[in-house]
């Protein structure tokens, strides 16, 4: 989501290298260079070894601290395990350690000299698929784990479908536990071709395959001696070097007003700033802008920040807009360009991933959060569900349950300003909230 901005900033900012980043005595330094941030998530079925893989990445990149390592070593010994169980690093909640599975999304951070990473370790169990959706919504890249002994499962298909739905363009398929299938190339190739057959029907730009053994570290950070037939890169090398194409839309200017800043002090008597995060396009001082929903025109007088005014603002930047004219904007309004407006409609079609045990009710009313706008909606129609194994449409069963993906139509109480999700992840996404429980029940991607 960030890489475009990253690129643009690169021309402005000089990276700072601290002395401590120098690689002395073979130790990998913990301070990242300023190459930037990669957010990725991991998904797989129960026992595919996700947590072990992450533990391995953290351990081999020397991002695990001694006290953490000592703690899991003690626990592993108590449980009578032969090796230090690296999965214990991410399975933080008591219930998870008891059951040996990951329940919730755990966020992990590690750095190498090349990059800084945020990992969302997401649960494999079907009951917690909603957390995978959560983890993936902010990611640029997905790691999908497959147990070499089992090959592709229903969960693999579901996770891949969600990855594609959520707009992630890069997938690394890790075929894990190669040690348990004798490191055989045929096993790897068979799973790979099966997966390719399945994923070719989806909109995923870039899929790469790596045979690994997370438990022993083969092909995670260091190249495996057990699989000389594999000529590709290790997982860490790929993560460090993969070029994550821009998810940001730099063309269509969208600035949702998040908060109005009025100091009401003597010094800033007439100050009226529209604070928010740029959701699309590049805004420049002096640009003519149009305010929605009023349609009023004005010009950007200044783009303000605590550190002083700036000339331009890119997607993802939190800034404060000052306008030439005294027009009355409030939270939920949007600044756009006159000749490049989002859709402003009340009838919206979208794909939805259902996140709650209470089923989606056709004709039901839900609260909506979309960009900065709040509204209510009524679900007019469930058009079809998707069979996550075949990707076929299911038209005869329209009951949308937990973990289902469906295409629905809604009507909102007021017009929303939106783009299609494919065009802009920020203005094309919304959540549905159950009014009775206040829970987030649906993740919507506008078509």
Partner 1 sequence: MHANTHHLEELESESIYVLREVAAQFEKTALLFSGGKDSIVVSYLARKAFWPAKIPFALMHIDTGHNFEETIVYRDEWVKKIDARLIVKYVQDSIDKGRVKEETGYNASRNLLQTVTLLDAIEELKLDACIGGARRDEEKARAKERFFSHRDEFGQWNPKNQRPELWDLFNGKKNIGEHFRVFPLSNWTELDVWQYIKDEEIPLPSIYFSHKRECLSRDGQLLAKSPFLKLKDNEKYEERIIRFRTIGDMSCTGAVESTASNIDEVIEEIAASRVTERGTRADDKRSEAAMEDRKKAGYF
CA distance 208 to 334: 39
Binders of partner 1 in range 320-359 (CB under 8 A) = 331, 355
Binders of partner 1 in range 197-236 (CB under 8 A) = none
Min dist. Cβ of residue 163 to partner 1 (A): 14
Min dist. Cβ of residue 74 to partner 1 (A): 9
CA distance 161 to 39: 19
82 binds partner 1 (CB under 8 A): no
Binders of partner 1 in range 16-45 (CB under 8 A) = 16, 18-21, 27, 29-32, 34, 36-37
Residue 66: partners with Cβ closer than 8 Å, 6 or more residues away = none
Q: What is the DSSP string of 163-226?
A: HHHTT--EEEEEEE-GGGGTT-HHHHHHHHHHHHHHHTTS--SEEEEEE-BTTTTBTTTB--SS
Residue 171: strand pairing partners: 142, 207
250 binds partner 1 (CB under 8 A): no
Q: In what order do the strands lie in the sheet with 297-304?
A: 255-256, 334-336, 288-292, 297-304, 318-323, 273-277, 259-261
- Structure token pair of residue 390: 């075949």
Min dist. Cβ of residue 109 to partner 1 (A): 5
CA distance 184 to 213: 12
Min dist. Cβ of residue 155 to partner 1 (A): 18
Give the residue with the Cβ less far from partner 1, 71 or 180: 71
270 binds partner 1 (CB under 8 A): no
Which span sits near partner 1 by CB under 8 A: 98-106, 179-187, 207-215, 292-300? 98-106
Binders of partner 1 in range 101-130 (CB under 8 A) = 103-109, 111, 116, 118, 130
Whether residue 159 contacts residue 144, with contact meaning beta carbons closer than 8 Å, is answered with yes
Min dist. Cβ of residue 446 to partner 1 (A): 12
**185-199 and 154-165 helices, crossing angle to 10°:** 50
Binders of partner 1 in range 125-184 (CB under 8 A) = 130-131, 133-134, 137-138
Give the residue with the Cβ less far from partner 1, 184 or 331: 331
H-state helical runs in 307-403: none
Positive or negative CA dihedral for 368, 372, 374, 380? negative
Residue 206: partners with Cβ closer than 8 Å, 6 or more residues away = 169, 170, 171
Give the residue with the Cβ less far from partner 1, 45 or 424: 424
67 binds partner 1 (CB under 8 A): yes
For 45, half-sphere exposure in the C-beta direction (CA atoms, 13 angstrom radius) is 15
Q: Residue 154, Cβ neighbours under 10 Å: how many?
A: 11
Which span sits near partner 1 by CB under 8 A: 59-67, 231-239, 285-293, 341-349? 59-67
CA distance 437 to 44: 30
76 binds partner 1 (CB under 8 A): no
Which span sits near partner 1 by CB under 8 A: 7-15, 43-51, 190-198, 234-242? 7-15
Min dist. Cβ of residue 318 to partner 1 (A): 4
Binders of partner 1 in range 280-319 (CB under 8 A) = 305-307, 310, 316-318
Binders of partner 1 in range 374-393 (CB under 8 A) = none
Which span sits near partner 1 by CB under 8 A: 11-19, 183-191, 342-350, 380-388? 11-19
Residue 367: strand pairing partners: 376, 433
396 binds partner 1 (CB under 8 A): no
15 binds partner 1 (CB under 8 A): yes
Binders of partner 1 in range 417-446 (CB under 8 A) = 425-426, 429-431, 433, 438-440, 443
Contact pick of 77, 81, 95, 182 for partner 1 (by CB under 8 A): 95
Number of residues that bind partner 1 (CB under 8 A): 87
CA distance 210 to 219: 8
251 binds partner 1 (CB under 8 A): no
262 binds partner 1 (CB under 8 A): yes
Strands 170-176 and 141-147: parallel
Residue 446: strand pairing partners: 350
């Amino acid at each position: 989501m960030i890489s475009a901005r990253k690129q643009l900033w690169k021309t402005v900012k000089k990276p700072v290298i601290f002395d401590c980043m120098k690689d002395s005595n073979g130790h990998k330094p913990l301070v990242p260079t300023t190459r930037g941030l990669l957010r990725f998530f991991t998904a797989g079925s129960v026992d595919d070894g996700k947590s072990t893989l992450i533990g391995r990445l953290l351990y081999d990149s020397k991002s695990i601290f001694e006290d953490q390592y000592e703690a899991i070593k003690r626990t592993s010994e108590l449980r009578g395990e032969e090796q230090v169980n690296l999965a214990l690093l991410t399975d933080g909640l008591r219930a998870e350690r008891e059951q040996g599975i990951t329940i919730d999304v755990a966020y992990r951070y590690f750095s190498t000299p090349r990059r800084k990473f945020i990992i969302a370790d997401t649960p494999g169990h079907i009951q917690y698929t909603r957390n995978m959706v959560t983890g993936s919504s902010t990611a640029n890249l997905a790691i999908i784990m497959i147990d070499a002994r089992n090959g592709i499962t229903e969960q693999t298909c579901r996770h891949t479908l969600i990855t594609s739905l959520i707009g992630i363009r890069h997938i690394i398929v890790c075929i894990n536990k190669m040690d348990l299938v004798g490191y055989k190339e045929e096993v790897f190739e068979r799973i790979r071709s099966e997966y390719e057959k399945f994923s070719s029907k989806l909109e995923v730009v870039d899929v790469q395959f790596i045979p690994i053994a997370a438990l022993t570290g083969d092909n995670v950070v260091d190249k495996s001696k057990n699989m000389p037939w594999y000529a590709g890169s290790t997982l860490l090398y790929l993560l460090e070097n993969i070029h994550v194409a821009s998810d940001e839309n730099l063309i269509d200017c969208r600035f949702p007003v998040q908060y109005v800043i009025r100091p009401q002090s003597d010094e800033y008597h007439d100050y009226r700033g529209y604070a928010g995060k740029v959701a699309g396009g590049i805004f420049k001082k002096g640009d003519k802008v149009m305010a929605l929903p009023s349609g009023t025109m004005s010009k950007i007088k200044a783009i303000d920040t605590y550190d002083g005014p700036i000339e331009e603002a890119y997607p993802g930047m939190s800034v404060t807009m000052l306008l030439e004219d005294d027009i009355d904007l409030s939270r939920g309004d949007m600044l756009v360009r006159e000749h490049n407006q989002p859709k402003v409609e009340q009838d919206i079609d979208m794909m939805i991933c259902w996140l709650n045990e209470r089923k989606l009710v056709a004709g039901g009313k839900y609260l909506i959060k979309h960009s900065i706008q709040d509204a209510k909606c009524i679900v007019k129609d469930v058009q079809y569900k998707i069979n996550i194994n075949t990707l076929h449409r299911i038209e005869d069963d329209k009951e949308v349950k937990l973990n289902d993906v469906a295409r629905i139509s809604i009507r909102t109480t007021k017009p929303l300003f939106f783009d299609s999700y494919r065009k802009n992840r920020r203005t094309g996404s919304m959540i549905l909230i159950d009014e009775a429980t206040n829970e987030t029940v649906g993740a919507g991607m506008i078509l």
